[in-house]
Amino acid sequence: MKHRSLLATVATLSIVAILAVTPRTARAWGEVGHKVVARIAWNNMKPDTRAKLISLLNDAPKDADLASLRPSGLSEEDANRALFEAAACWPDIVRAQKTDAEKTRRAKYHHSPWHYYDVYFEQTADGAIKERTDKKNAPENSIERLGVLTAQLGNTALPAGERAVALAWIEHLVGDVHTPLHNVARVSAAEPDGDQGGNLFKLEENPAPGKQYATNLHSFWDDLPESQFPLSPGEDPEARVGRVAQAATFLLPKALFERAGLTQTAQYAQWNREGAEVAIAKVYPNLKRNQLPDAPYTQEAKNTAVIALAKAGYRLAATLEAALAAEK
């Protein structure tokens, strides 16, 4: 792969370098991360855009179990925001089919290949990075789907329920595209067909006490928003979402994001390429199989992840605003 000096990559790495001296999983990010992306987007959308999106979610098909994610006992404003955030997690919810009845009802909404687009790469004997263009992704993937789904969201001729499903997928996939291990797969002698976005790269030989599965590289990065921002005693989970969103937008303020020209509305392949370059430069180096990352690696991973959450949230807001502005 040719490492280009992408503005977005330079901005990300520069901010991370500053943070180093400033005091202070195959799902992407997990529930907290996806809700943080949605929270940042919600805070950066116009009130009328929010209202249109909530109206669509309330009209989601009953068998999608999407509108039912709206919590009770909250003010209308808080319930609307909570529904929008829950919708960002919905593609992972429909994937977790625990009963035969759920599997039957939800099968048409679950699409595993949509969650990622892998840039396949390998490291040659001399240390150079080589992109493996002979390895292919599924025709329907995160990049391709974002283009289709945003068009569906803006098409008022479609049923509201279909547009609601498109909205939930857009929320989720923008988060996925900003998760480095949804952007790459490393090819090696051990994994000649790729490591499935780090899923095959184990960081533990056996599960830790109380865990069902051993940590792998993919799950380590997915879980960063939870592991690096644990719930404080007595803290409400939604308050944690707000706390992480505030930390992300503090590290990458919207004004800086916009000044750097990073919005790049509808540039889904470019967003994915940014993540791939970050993954190659920051995710894989200095790791050993069956060894958990050390503290410096974990701290830099946290910084990188938090900035990615901010970028995803700002871009999601811009994406949804643009889709509704183009309604036809």
Cα dihedral across residues 302, 32, 61, 108: positive or negative? positive
Q: What is the pLDDT of residues 19-52, one digit of tens each?
A: 333 321 345 688 999 999 999 999 999 999 999 9
Q: Is 198 left (phi over 0), alpha (psi -120 to 50) or beta?
A: left
Nearest alpha-carbon partner for 170 in 141, 150, 140: 150
CA distance 42 to 38: 6
Inform me whether the pLDDT recorded for 3 exceeds 90: no
CA distance 261 to 264: 7
pTM for the model stands at 0.90
Distance from first CA to last CA of the chain, Å, rounded? 40
Paired tokens of 110:
């679950």
**Please, what is the average pLDDT of the chain?**
90
Paired tokens of 281:
């430069």
CA distance 154 to 65: 22
Q: Contact at 8 Å (CB) between 64 and 214?
A: no
DSSP 107: G
The correct CATH number of 7-325 out of 3.30.750.200, 3.20.20.80, 3.40.50.10360, 1.10.575.10 is 1.10.575.10
Q: What is the pLDDT of residues 38-95, one digit of tens each?
A: 999 999 999 999 999 999 999 999 999 999 999 999 999 999 999 999 999 999 999 8
